[in-house]
Amino acid sequence: MSNKNIKLLESIDASNAMLFQKKYLMNEKPVILKGMGKDWPAIRRWSADFFRNTYGHVEVPVCYYKSKQQEPYKKQVKIPLKDYIDLAEENKFTNNKNNSEPPYLGGWIFHNEFPELLDDIDMTLPCFPDNWLYKLPPSISIPPTNLIIGYQQVSSPLHTDSFFVNSVLTMIVGKKTARMVSPLHASVVSNGQNLFNPIIANKVLKQGAEIFEGTVSAGDAFYIPPGWWHNVINCGFTIAVQNLHVDTYRFPLFEQQLRGFVLPILSKIEDLGRNAREELSKTETLPAPLSHKIGGFIEHEKNYVMHLKKSLKKSEDYLRSYYLSS
């Protein structure tokens, strides 16, 4: 470690679920979970050859974090996994005219297409109670796991994970080093930074933030709490699994984040409806079209008003009790 002001991440045995929950999960404090994946079949099965031979033909999405930042999953460039692994193992990306940045398989959502791979990992982590992500309706489901294959030339610049989820990054092959900053110091860091650049790290430290650093190798995992900034580099060829968790305690904030996605869409639809009604009210009064009756227009409108009223009351009650208790 180059800078002695950088603190070492604490590290505990992953089998000590009680200690993890009390000291780290409850306090949203990052930690290294030693041996998290040591008994997963993936540790014995997964390798560059395994993926090349079994899934080499599959087109996988790659990221270009430096030139494109985080793109929507469906918009990412896709390349055959075989080509990607050849490149990653060689660690010899050379600039070409079209693209000067090496591609990074920074999060492949594999489990719908290849659910058999789920048998190689353990998603029922004893450290995490009940994962509420499984309760979401399929239409807005957030994939609870993804696969990351890396090499020395690629990394994840400083970022926070969306929706305030708990993230567990378990190493299957190779080593990663991470630097993390608490959300309490968000004002002195920014998205996309390289905290491994000593000039940037020193600037962040000087402004009063703490930087935590740790390295994990096969079988070990990082626990990255909600909202924590993290910058992750690959120390050679790596295969890792990221698992996302939302427990009961953090679900209300998560729900609010999801609503932030849905509400603008709902508002837009409502606005259009109001525009149409306004336009109609300017013209001579027309009788309601027959389809209103068939479609149960009045019934649905009443149900909607009831839903809004109930929702409003529950939210107001919740806010009142929140203020009383804090």
Ligand X SMILES: O=C(O)CCC(=O)C(=O)O
Which partner in ligand X, Fe ion, none is near 160 (CB below 5 to 8 A by kind)? none
Q: Which residue is nearest to Fe ion (CB)?
A: 161
Give CA–CA dist 84/105, Å, rounded: 8
Q: Half-sphere exposure (CA, 13 Å, Cβ side) for 199? A: 0
Tell the residue number behind the tokens 């994946």, with chain if given: 37
Q: Residue 209 or 233: which CB sits closer to ligand X?
A: 233
Burial (CB count within 10 angstroms: exposed 0-12, middle 13-18, buried 19+), residue 17? middle
Tokens of 265: 């869409």
**Min dist. Cβ of residue 21 to Fe ion (A):** 21
Residues 143-162 that bind Fe ion (CB under 5 A): 161
Give CA–CA dist 311/262, Å, rounded: 15
230 binds ligand X (CB under 6 A): yes
Residues 166-185 that bind ligand X (CB under 6 A): 167, 169, 176
232 binds ligand X (CB under 6 A): yes
Q: Using alpha carbons only, give the angle 193, 252, 322 rounded to the nearest 5 degrees.
A: 110
Residues 97-126 that bind ligand X (CB under 6 A): 106
Q: Residue 52 or 159: which CB sits closer to ligand X?
A: 159
Q: Residue 169 or 201: which CB sits closer to Fe ion?
A: 169
Size of the site for ligand X (CB under 6 A): 13
242 binds ligand X (CB under 6 A): yes
Three-state DSSP at 177 gives strand
224 binds ligand X (CB under 6 A): yes
161 binds ligand X (CB under 6 A): yes
**Residue 69: which region, alpha, beta or left (left: phi > 0; alpha: psi -120 to 50)?**
left
Which partner in Fe ion, ligand X, none is near 250 (CB below 5 to 8 A by kind)? none
Q: Residue numbers of the site for Fe ion (CB under 5 A)?
A: 161
